[in-house]
Structure 1
Amino acid sequence: MTPVTVTSPLTGRALPLTEVPDPVFAQAMVGPGTAVDPERVPGAAVAPVDGVVVSLHPHAFVVMDSSGHGVLTHLGIDTVQLDGEGFELMVAKGDTVSRGQEVVRWDPAAVEAAGKSPISPVIALDAVDGDLSAVVDSGPVRAGDALFDWS
């Protein structure tokens, strides 16, 4: 597979997965990656790679690039329990998207007000620890900034 740079779908603060308040993500059971604690303003989660939207829910989406790298963006923790309230899909499953294109509009402050964590894991699906390099897991990030390289 061709190495790919995965960029942040959100603006906020990067965190290591170990700080995600969910053991499934914190223990990298879904896969390695990093997380973003988003700014508490309404906005959009954007595609972290160029590719096809292979899975789409109000609270989570997967974009698969042309090399077969699937990147999961999970907007908040336990947000599936919000039944889509406060999330607006901007694309459809099967759509081809470009890095930086809006996928889901949401309000992290509203998620937090509903009692859920807005911390958002960004996961390299079907990857193992050694596949990722240059992982950003601290400090400020803007949507479109590099989060990790996946080879």
Structure 2
Amino acid sequence: MSTEVGSPVAGLTTSLSDVPDPVFSQAMVGPGVAVKPSGGEGDAVAPVAGQVVTLHPHAFVIAASSGGAVLVHLGIDTVKLKGEGFTLHVSTGEAVEAGQKIITWNPTEVESQGYSSICPVVALDAPAESLADLREDTQVLPGDALFNLEG
């Protein structure tokens, strides 16, 4: 079974190796891609349909209905903002649809505070070979396919 993982934000896709954090750039938590957001305040949306299993102002994990779990991290070191500038629209345990609004945030504001706004989108604990059709160096809109998770 294959799960299409969509982009949580609009922007330019890039390799995880470009993320300025070794946890992501070395794929320690799993393979995936990153999106460099374009524009100011906007919504981060669910990359897959499923259940919200982890929710922080700066990151969330959705267990996909079709199997596997996807982590979206809004910026790097943004945990240090202690939730400031992030508005949550769902709660842990909630069932969500792909494309549903999860968090409103402002990548420009994150950058103005000295943090990277890049968004890793990771298939948690998945083998690298379970990802297909990775889209790198592509402009995407929220919901556009980033990769397929096979499994």
Residue 74 of structure 1 aligns with which residue?
A: 73
Residue 142 of structure 2 aligns with which residue?
A: 143
Cα distance, 1:126 vs structure 2:
1.7
SS in 2 for 1:105: strand
Unaligned runs of 5+ in 2: none
TM-score for the superposition, normalised by structure 1: 0.97
Residue 99 of structure 2 aligns with which residue?
A: 100
Deviations 1:87-146 (A, max 9, x none): 000000011100000000000000000100000000001201100010012121111110
Unaligned runs of 5+ in 1: none
Give me the whole-angstrom Cα distance separating, in 1, the residues matched to 2:118 and 2:43.
Answer: 14
SS in 1 for 2:60: strand
Structure 1 stretch 64-73 or stretch 96-105: which is displaced more?
Answer: 64-73
Amino acid at match of 1:36: V
Deviations 1:9-30 (A, max 9, x none): 1000001001111111001011
TM-score for the superposition, normalised by structure 2: 0.97
Deviations 1:21-53 (A, max 9, x none): 111100101100000000131000000000000
Give me the whole-angstrom Cα distance separating, in 1, the residues matched to 2:32 and 2:2.
Answer: 15
Give me the whole-angstrom Cα distance separating, in 1, the residues matched to 2:43 and 2:68.
Answer: 22
Give me the whole-angstrom Cα distance separating, in 2, the residues matched to 1:115 and 1:64.
Answer: 31
SS in 1 for 2:72: strand
Residue 84 of structure 1 aligns with which residue?
A: 83
Tell me whether 1:122 sits opposite 2:88 in the alignment. no
Amino acid at match of 2:23: V
The percent of aligned pairs where both chains have the same amino acid is 53
Give me the whole-angstrom Cα distance separating, in 2, the residues matched to 1:145 and 1:67.
Answer: 18
Amino acid at match of 1:20: V
Cα distance, 1:67 vs structure 2:
2.8
Residue 51 of structure 1 aligns with which residue?
A: 50
Give me the whole-angstrom Cα distance separating, in 2, the residues matched to 1:140 and 1:131.
Answer: 23
Residue 26 of structure 1 aligns with which residue?
A: 25
Alignment: residue pair count? 150
Give me the whole-angstrom Cα distance separating, in 1, the residues matched to 2:83 and 2:39.
Answer: 18
State the Cα RMSD in Å: 0.7
